């Protein structure tokens, strides 16, 4: 349960004995779960391991040296930011080195040119505050402001605030990547100099290696530095109020304001999103899962169930909300203009304004996900995909239908089609479907549901976020692109011929299905008898 | 004859040629690069035909040079190692315009003129680079990331999904168009990213070296209801940049650009607004052009708040910025220019840059706006070293996304029949590029002779690109001799 002595010694020489350890107590601290995300699922039980050693580099050079040593001694490794993403961020094979990047926590802001340069240990919370201080903002995912900004931007990177920039990829500027074999590549303006203000080039854009729609989950190198584009905000301060855990930001109402509208029908709800996009107003336009309203109201788990338990298929079916964030980017007059346009749209569609707090509890600063596990203990999003509003606004209904068969063990949500919202001023739409369960119960149904969603998306011809390492590659591969898996594997083999970088990702979910007896009945797709990768014992 | 017969089996005998006339036509362009002759030209009619041509070339190890536009300025379609030119001009269909999702999907041969006209019928428009030639391919300009004059959309990049024929011949759809059965699918192709990797990124700025893109979809915007255009004469570039730093992050404006007197005179004279020399002498050193627009709802109110903000800034902070709805001494300029900014340059008129002396060479790079005065000085220094009058150089500064960056473009005009002048401009161009690069100018699109200079300075990027290229194009048949390949 530790890595080879020779390799360990070489690694220790790089960072010093203070920043490497194979002490079982330390390593135990890096066990997957019980954070909540995918907690207790088959994937976690079958695929995750405790690291053989943990190392904490401080600089890009150290990361490069570590990776080169891993290649020399064939030590598998996984990059690790905060580990909040759950089982997929943790070691998957025995005697693996976990590279904890939290010491690389420097950041610098260029206020005039709207970017922040960060290391992989930098989390969102401080950079959002600094951005606010300088008249800008970043988009913090629902996972929370305690997640690593880099890990988020190479894997996820959306929230209702993506109404202005949907694709997080567009916010990745000059970036430094240590390839799986230890070679360094500097992208965008970093390719030529020290200033990372520009993202692409020279020539073909190697940022394509950083992620697909969702992340590669650390299997194609380690990002050691990134400039993140920020968005211009409005100038008034947002004042923190309340006592923990009930904190919020008081909003300057003439410049920032959430407004909720109750719509008469799904058609009106969807039309409102299209119209707001076409009118090019607002900073966020969203319809969140309905049980979030119960989470927001509840002070504890029992209270949540009390509130949520009062709902039923009918109450959910007839409740249509559109939540809009207005921002006076230019001036108070612009905010009034946006509000007038919004009122026109809502009047046309029969939207009724509902009382809304003059504060922000989540998306601007904290995007606080701590309460997400509250109800059952475990949670996963089985999709979080950007497509058109046309896809986004029907996608969840298919999930809700499929989910019936698996409820329980999944938490009931009475057919709610989940979360959808407008991105890129309505040029894109986003849909996310969240499911909850109790990890102490039999989770076979959850494992099955997770996989069945992939087949549903293929059958119904939906685009989905769970491609690449998130589902069996040989299931999704032939059906998207087609055959994107072949290219992905060729790229992996070129840059990581030994497969030392987070093995067996991106074939980890294939491996899981092969290894978990209870998954076998679901396997109706072709795949090679032996997965095309080296075996790690 | 053998090549022709083989290719005729794929595309039909009318769509392949080995005639000297056709081959010569594709051997040169408007750049200073030397000609290179292809062995044959094909005009495929579908992605399947493109694929078969590529597979055939791959088997035979024959270079493939994809061509979509009818006019080329940078030499990237000149066959550098012979081979087959694959001209996608016949693939010129607009495949769909989705007004709900404001998305247009079209083939490689679709021109700016065609697209603007068709979108206009539905009340939509593409965001445009500055006066692109009307017969240039929208697809290639988008892939090459021609910078738009529009500064207000945070999401910048217009491209959505794409279809590509990889150098090994497989047909592949990027982004959300990758779903099975697209476009007969719930996915509309509104997301460029994925599946698995961001393949579309590899195709951007690739000059046809990573595959042949047969269609793309882009975001289309609504045509505003009301537009207003403003001009300001600018003597002090740094002051103008400070003004832009103040207003653009506040989301003021639609189009915004700075033109020097040479470029502006070239545009206006080519449109019949006066004589080039007279205009050049009369125009201020720089002109700031800014448009504001009232959109589909409450257009007057939108114009009003933008104007109010502008007036406050002008009155209290930038009194020296004389921003008005006409440039003093040029009546009618606004009426002329406003519609021009929303259209490509008409293909039945000589391209505006060609009207000055016939030939021209662009040199452009990305930088931060506050560094533009320094780059102007560098250009002056290099030009004076060459004894080249700075007064003859066209300069254009294009702010990008709220002025977080900008593109600077210099244009050297020359007589294409004067070999001595051509050689001279070629040297000046390279020396200027090196001097600018030394001070931090970032050249994102390495064309022609610049490529080796740029890639020499980006060793690890170059190495990684080569490794990636090997994955997709193991025989290096796609447009070899460009970039670092
Ligand atoms: C409850 C919950 C809700 C969420 N909601 C949202 C949401 O609404 N929007 C959103 O955008 N995201 C959301 N997320 C995702 C989350 O916010 C982060 O994107 C995610 O947790 C990654 O950040 P991390 O610090 O946890 O990274 P980790 O878990 O440490 O790493 C994530 C993956 O990236 C790899 N990795 C980490 N650092 C690097 C690096 N420097 N280079 C290369 N690979 C690296 C790791 O190996 C791992 O596979 C949610 C997550 C949870 C648990």
| Region of residue B211 (left: phi > 0; alpha: psi -120 to 50; beta: else) | left
Best mutation site among A481, A490, A495, A509 for testing chain B: the one with the most B CBs within 10 Å?
Answer: A481
Average pLDDT value for residue range B20-26: 96
Half-sphere exposure at residue A488, Cβ-oriented, CA atoms within 13 angstroms: 33
Q: What's the B475 CA to ligand 1 centre distance in angstroms?
A: 38
SS3 A173: strand
Where in the sequence of chain B do the CATH 3.40.462.10 domains occur?
226-340
pLDDT tier at A288, thresholds 50, 70, 90: confident
Q: Which of residues 462-481 of A touch B (CB under 8 A)?
A: 462-463, 467-468, 473, 476-477, 479-481
Q: What pLDDT is stored for residue A368 in this prediction?
A: 65
Does a structural domain hold residue A528? Answer: no
Q: What pLDDT is stored for residue A290 in this prediction?
A: 87
Residues 6+ apart with CB under 8 A from B42: B7, B10, B11, B15, B16, B17, B53, B84, B85, B86, B87
Considering only CB atoms, which chain A residues are within 8 Å of B197? Answer: 208-209, 211-212, 216, 468, 484, 487-488, 491
CATH number at residue A393: 3.40.462.10
Does a structural domain hold residue A84? Answer: yes
What is the CATH topology of the domain spanning B94-222?
A: 3.30.465
Q: What pLDDT is stored for residue A114 in this prediction?
A: 98
What is the CATH topology of the domain spanning B354-438?
A: Alpha-Beta Plaits (3.30.70)
Closest C-alpha to ligand 1, atom 17: A143
Average pLDDT value for residue range B102-114: 98
Is the CB of A390 less than 8 angstroms away from the CB of B100?
A: yes
- Which of residues A430, A460, A490 is at a domain's end? A460
| Identity of the residue in B207, B295, B309 whose CB atom sits nearest the CB atom of A331 | B309
Does a structural domain hold residue A248? Answer: no
Q: Which of B409, B395, B411 is nearest to B360 (CA)?
A: B411
d(CA A487, CA B472): 8
Question: What radius of gyration do chain B's Cα atoms show?
Answer: 23
- pLDDT of B137 higher than 70: yes
Widest CA span of chain B, in angstroms?
75
CATH number at residue A115: 3.30.465.10
Q: What pLDDT is stored for residue A1 in this prediction?
A: 55
Average pLDDT value for residue range A317-340: 96
Does a structural domain hold residue A275? Answer: yes
- Give φ, ψ of B473 to 5 degrees: -140, 70
SS (H, E, C) chain B: CHHHHHHHHHHCHHHEECCHHHHHHCCCCCCCCCCCCCCEEECCCCHHHHHHHHHHHHHHCCCEEEECCCCCCCCCCCCCCCCEEEEHHHCCCEEEEECCCCEEEEECCCEHHHHHHHHHHCCEECCCECCCECCCEHHHHHHCCCCECECCCCCCCCEEEEEEECCCCCEEEEHHHHCCCCCCCCCCCCCCCCCCCCHHHHHCCCCCCCCEEEEEEEECEECCCEEEEEEEEECCHHHHHHHHHHHHHHCCCCEEEEEEHHHHHHHHHHCCCCCHHHHHHHCCCEEEEEEEEECCCCHHHHHHHHHHHHHHHHHHCCCCCCCECCCCCCCCHHHHHHHHHCCCECCCCCCCCHHHHCEEEEEEEEECHHHHHHHHHHHHHHHHHCCCCHHHCEEEEEEECCCCEEEEEEEEEECCCCHHHHHHHHHHHHHHHHHHHHCCCECCCCCCCHHHHHHHCCHHHHHHHHHHHHHHCCCCCECCCCCCC
Does a structural domain hold residue A120? Answer: yes
Based on the fold, state whether residues A91 and A133 are members of the same structural domain: no
* Most confident of the following: A24-38, A309-323, B223-237: B223-237
What is the sign, positive or negative, of the torsion defined by CA atoms of B129, B133, B136, B140? negative
Based on the fold, state whether residues A281 and A417 are members of the same structural domain: yes
d(CA A131, CA A229): 11
Q: What pLDDT is stored for residue A142 in this prediction?
A: 86
First to last CA, chain B: 29
Instruction: Pull the structure tokens for residue A243.
Output: 């006592």
Where in the sequence of chain B do the CATH 3.30.43.10 domains occur?
2-87
| pLDDT tens per residue, range A261-281 | 999 999 999 999 999 999 999
Q: What pLDDT is stored for residue A367 in this prediction?
A: 62
Contact B127, B153 (CB under 8 A): yes
| pLDDT tens per residue, range A130-152 | 999 999 999 999 888 999 999 99
| pLDDT tens per residue, range B50-73 | 999 999 999 999 999 999 988 888
Average pLDDT value for residue range B90-97: 98
What is the b/e burial string over A476-491, where b = at least 16 CB atoms within 10 angstroms of the residue's CB? bbbbbbbebbbbbbeb
Residues 6+ apart with CB under 8 A from B412: B360, B361, B363, B388, B392, B393, B394, B425, B428, B429
SS (H, E, C) A427-446: CEEEEEEEEEECCCCCCHHH
Q: What pLDDT is stored for residue A117 in this prediction?
A: 98
Is the CB of B440 less than 8 angstroms away from the CB of A195?
A: yes
Based on the fold, state whether residues A206 and A318 are members of the same structural domain: no
B226-340 under CATH 3.30.565.10, yes or no: no
Based on the fold, state whether residues A313 and A415 are members of the same structural domain: yes
Residues linked to residue B234 through DSSP beta bridges, in sequence order: B286
A363 lines ligand 1 (CB under 6 A): no
Q: Which of A416, A367, A384 is nearest to A125 (CA)?
A: A367
Based on the fold, state whether residues A405 and A309 are members of the same structural domain: yes
Does a structural domain hold residue A240? Answer: no
Closest C-alpha to ligand 1, atom 26: A84
Q: What's the A316 CA to ligand 1 centre distance in angstroms?
A: 31
Based on the fold, state whether residues A40 and A167 are members of the same structural domain: no
Q: What pLDDT is stored for residue A370 in this prediction?
A: 64
Based on the fold, state whether residues A323 and A370 are members of the same structural domain: yes
Please give the number of the atom of ligand 1 that sits closest to the Cα of A148: 25
Q: What pLDDT is stored for residue B154 in this prediction?
A: 86
Where in the sequence of chain B do the CATH 3.30.70 domains occur?
354-438
SS (H, E, C) A33-51: CCCCECCCCHHHHHHCCCC
Tokens 């537009």: give the residue: B227
Contact B260, B375 (CB under 8 A): no
- Which of residues A100, A121, A148 is at a domain's end? A100
Is the CB of B194 less than 8 angstroms away from the CB of A213?
A: yes
- pLDDT of A296 higher than 90: no
**In whole angstroms, what separates CA B127 from the centre of its chain?**
12
Question: What radius of gyration do chain A's Cα atoms show?
Answer: 23
- pLDDT of B258 higher than 70: yes
Contact A472, A199 (CB under 8 A): no
Instruction: Pull the structure tokens for residue A96.
Output: 């693996």
Instruction: Pull the structure tokens for residue B205.
Output: 């700025």
- pLDDT of A369 higher than 70: no
pLDDT tier at A375, thresholds 50, 70, 90: confident
Q: What pLDDT is stored for residue B1 in this prediction?
A: 56
Specify the long-range contacts of residues A8-11, CB closer than 8 Å, at least 24 apart. Answer: A8/A53, A10/A69, A10/A72, A10/A73, A11/A53, A11/A55, A11/A66, A11/A69, A11/A97
- Which of residues A100, A125, A144 is at a domain's end? A100
| pLDDT tens per residue, range B353-397 | 999 999 999 999 999 999 999 999 999 999 999 999 999 999 999
| Identity of the residue in A114, A189, A337 whose CB atom sits nearest the CB atom of B301 | A337
- Give the strands of the sheet with B359-367, arranged side by side: B226-234, B286-294, B256-260, B394-400, B405-414, B359-367
Contact B176, B188 (CB under 8 A): yes
- Give φ, ψ of A97 to 5 degrees: -95, 130
On average, the pLDDT of chain B sits at 96
| Identity of the residue in B176, B465, B471 whose CB atom sits nearest the CB atom of A203 | B465
B47-60 and B2-11 helices cross at what angle (nearest 10)? 150
Based on the fold, state whether residues A280 and A169 are members of the same structural domain: no
| pLDDT tens per residue, range A458-472 | 999 999 999 999 999
Average pLDDT value for residue range A494-515: 97
- pLDDT of B167 higher than 70: yes
Does a structural domain hold residue A223? Answer: yes
Q: What pLDDT is stored for residue A252 in this prediction?
A: 96
- pLDDT of A373 higher than 90: no
Q: What pLDDT is stored for residue A537 in this prediction?
A: 66
pLDDT tier at B409, thresholds 50, 70, 90: very high
pLDDT tier at A33, thresholds 50, 70, 90: confident
- Give the strands of the sheet with B84-87, arranged side by side: B16-17, B40-42, B84-87, B64-67
A157 lines ligand 1 (CB under 6 A): yes
State the CB neighbour count (10 A cutoff) for residue B132.
Answer: 21
Does a structural domain hold residue A403? Answer: yes
Structural domain total, chain A? 4
d(CA B351, CA B29): 14
Based on the fold, state whether residues A307 and A257 are members of the same structural domain: yes
Which of A103, A123, A141, A217 best tests ligand 1's pocket when mutated (most atoms within 8 Å of CB)? A141
- The domain in which residue A121 lies consists of 107-232
Based on the fold, state whether residues A67 and A193 are members of the same structural domain: no
What percent of chain A is modeled with pLDDT above 90?
Answer: 87
Q: What pLDDT is stored for residue A34 in this prediction?
A: 73
Whether residue A409 has a cis bond before it, omega within 30° of 0: yes
Torsion of CA A500, A506, A507, A508, to 10 degrees: 80
Considering only CB atoms, which chain B residues are within 8 Å of A201? Answer: 205, 442-446
On average, the pLDDT of chain A sits at 95
Contact B292, B227 (CB under 8 A): yes
Contact B277, B261 (CB under 8 A): no
Based on the fold, state whether residues A192 and A46 are members of the same structural domain: no
- pLDDT of A219 higher than 60: yes
| pLDDT tens per residue, range A411-449 | 998 999 999 999 999 999 999 999 999 988 999 999 999
The yes/no answer to whether this complex scores an ipTM above 0.90 is yes
A304 lines ligand 1 (CB under 6 A): no
Q: What pLDDT is stored for residue B338 in this prediction?
A: 97
Average pLDDT value for residue range B10-22: 97
Based on the fold, state whether residues A427 and A300 are members of the same structural domain: yes
SS (H, E, C) B19-68: CHHHHHHCCCCCCCCCCCCCCEEECCCCHHHHHHHHHHHHHHCCCEEEEC
List the CATH code of the domain at B2-87.
Answer: 3.30.43.10
């Amino acid at each position: 349960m530790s890595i080879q002595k020779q390799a360990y010694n070489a690694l220790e020489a790089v960072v010093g004995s203070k920043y490497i350890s194979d002490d079982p107590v330390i390593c135990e601290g890096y066990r997957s779960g019980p954070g909540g995300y995918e907690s207790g699922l088959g994937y976690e039980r079958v695929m995750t391991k405790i690291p053989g050693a943990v190392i904490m580099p401080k600089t890009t050079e150290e990361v490069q040296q570590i990776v080169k040593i891993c290649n020399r001694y064939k030590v598998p490794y996984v990059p690790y930011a905060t580990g909040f993403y759950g089982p997929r961020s943790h070691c998957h094979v025995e005697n693996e080195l976990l590279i904890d990047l939290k010491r690389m926590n420097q950041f610098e802001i260029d206020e005039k040119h709207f970017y922040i340069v960060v290391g992989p240990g930098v989390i969102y919370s401080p950079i959002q505050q600094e951005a606010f201080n300088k008249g800008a903002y970043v988009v913090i995912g629902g996972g929370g402001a305690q997640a690593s900004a880099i890990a988020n931007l190479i894997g996820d990177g959306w929230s209702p605030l993506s109404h202005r920039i949907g694709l997080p990829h567009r916010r990745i500027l000059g970036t430094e990547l240590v390839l799986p074999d230890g070679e360094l590549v500097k992208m965008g303006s970093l390719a030529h100099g020290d200033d990372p203000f520009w993202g692409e080039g020279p020539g073909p854009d190697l940022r394509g290696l950083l992620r697909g729609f969702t992340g590669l989950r650390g299997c194609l190198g380690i990002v050691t530095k990134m400039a993140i584009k920020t968005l211009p905000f409005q100038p008034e301060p947002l004042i923190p109020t309340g006592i923990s855990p009930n904190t919020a930001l008081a909003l300057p109402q003439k410049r920032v304001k959430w407004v909720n509208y109750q719509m008469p029908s799904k058609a009106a709800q969807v039309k409102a999103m299209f119209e707001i996009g076409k009118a090019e107003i607002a900073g966020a336009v969203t319809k969140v899962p309905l049980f979030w309203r119960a989470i927001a109201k509840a002070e504890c788990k029992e209270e949540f169930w009390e509130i949520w338990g009062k709902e039923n298929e009918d109450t959910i079916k007839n409740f249509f909300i559109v939540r809009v964030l207005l921002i006076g980017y230019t001036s108070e007059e612009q905010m009034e203009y946006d509000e007038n346009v919004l009122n026109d749209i809502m009047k046309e569609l029969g939207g009724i304004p509902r009382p809304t707090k003059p504060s922000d509890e989540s998306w601007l600063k904290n995007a606080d996900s701590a309460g997400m596990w509250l109800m059952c203990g475990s949670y996963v999003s089985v999709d979080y995909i950007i497509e058109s509003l046309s896809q986004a606004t029907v996608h969840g209904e298919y999930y809700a239908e499929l989910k019936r068969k698996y409820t329980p063990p999944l938490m009931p949500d009475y057919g709610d089609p989940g979360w959808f919202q407008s991105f890129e001023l309505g040029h894109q739409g986003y849909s996310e479907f969240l499911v909850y369960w109790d990890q102490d119960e039999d989770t076979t149904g959850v494992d099955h549901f997770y996989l069945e969603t992939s087949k549903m998306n293929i059958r119904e011809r939906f685009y989905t976020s769970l491609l690449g390492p998130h589902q069996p590659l040989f299931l999704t591969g032939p059906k998207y692109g087609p055959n994107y898996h072949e290219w992905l594997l060729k790229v992996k083999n070129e840059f990581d011929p030994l497969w030392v970088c987070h093995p067996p990702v991106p074939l980890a979910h294939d491996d899981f299905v092969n290894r978990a007896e209870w998954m076998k009945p679901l396997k109706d797709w072709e795949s090679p008898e032996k997965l095309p990768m080296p075996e790690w014992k | 004859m053998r090549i022709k017969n083989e290719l005729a089996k794929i595309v039909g005998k009318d769509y392949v040629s080995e005639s000297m006339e056709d081959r010569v036509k594709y051997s040169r362009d408007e750049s200073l690069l030397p000609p290179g002759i292809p062995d044959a030209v094909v005009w495929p009619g579908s992605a399947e035909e493109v694929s078969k041509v590529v597979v055939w070339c791959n088997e035979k190890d024959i270079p493939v040079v994809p061509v979509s536009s009818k006019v080329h300025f940078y030499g990237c379609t000149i066959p550098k190692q012979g081979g087959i030119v694959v001209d996608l001009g016949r693939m010129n269909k607009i495949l769909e315009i989705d007004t709900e999702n404001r998305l247009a999907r079209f083939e490689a041969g679709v021109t700016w003129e065609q697209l603007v006209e068709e979108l206009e019928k539905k009340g939509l428009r593409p965001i445009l680079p500055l006066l692109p030639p009307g017969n240039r391919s929208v697809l290639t300009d988008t892939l090459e990331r021609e910078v738009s004059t529009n500064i207000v959309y945070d999401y910048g990049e217009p491209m959505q999904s794409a279809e590509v024929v990889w150098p090994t011949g497989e047909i592949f759809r990027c982004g959300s168009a990758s779903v099975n059965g697209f476009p007969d699918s719930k996915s509309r192709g509104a997301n460029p990213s994925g599946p698995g990797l961001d393949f579309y990124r590899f195709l951007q700025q690739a000059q046809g070296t990573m595959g042949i893109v047969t269609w793309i979809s882009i975001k289309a915007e609504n045509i505003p209801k009301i537009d207003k255009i403003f001009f300001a004469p600018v003597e002090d570039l740094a002051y103008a940049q400070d003004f832009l730093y103040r207003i653009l992050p506040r989301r003021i404006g639609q189009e915004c650009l700075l033109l020097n007197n040479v470029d502006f005179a070239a545009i206006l004279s080519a449109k019949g607004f006066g004589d080039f020399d007279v205009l050049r002498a009369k125009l201020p050193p720089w002109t700031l052009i800014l448009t504001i627009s009232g959109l589909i709802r409450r257009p007057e109110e939108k114009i009003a708040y933008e104007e109010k903000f502008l007036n406050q800034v002008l009155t209290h902070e930038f009194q020296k910025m004389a921003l008005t709805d006409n440039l003093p001494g040029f009546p009618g300029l606004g009426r002329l220019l406003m519609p021009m900014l929303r259209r490509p340059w008409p293909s039945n008129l000589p391209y505006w840059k060609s009207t000055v002396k016939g030939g021209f060479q662009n040199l452009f790079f990305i930088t931060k706006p506050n560094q533009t005065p320094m780059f102007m000085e560098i250009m002056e220094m290099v030009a004076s070293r060459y004894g080249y009058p700075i007064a003859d150089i066209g300069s254009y500064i294009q702010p990008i996304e709220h002025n977080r960056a900008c593109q600077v473009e210099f244009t050297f005009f020359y007589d294409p029949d004067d070999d001595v002048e051509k050689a001279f401009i070629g040297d000046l161009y390279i020396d200027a590029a090196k001097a600018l690069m030394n001070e931090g100018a970032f050249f994102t699109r390495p064309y022609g002779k610049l490529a080796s200079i740029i890639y020499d300075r980006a060793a690890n990027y170059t190495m990684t690109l080569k490794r990636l290229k090997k994955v997709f194009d193991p025989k290096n048949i796609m447009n070899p001799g460009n970039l670092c390949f």
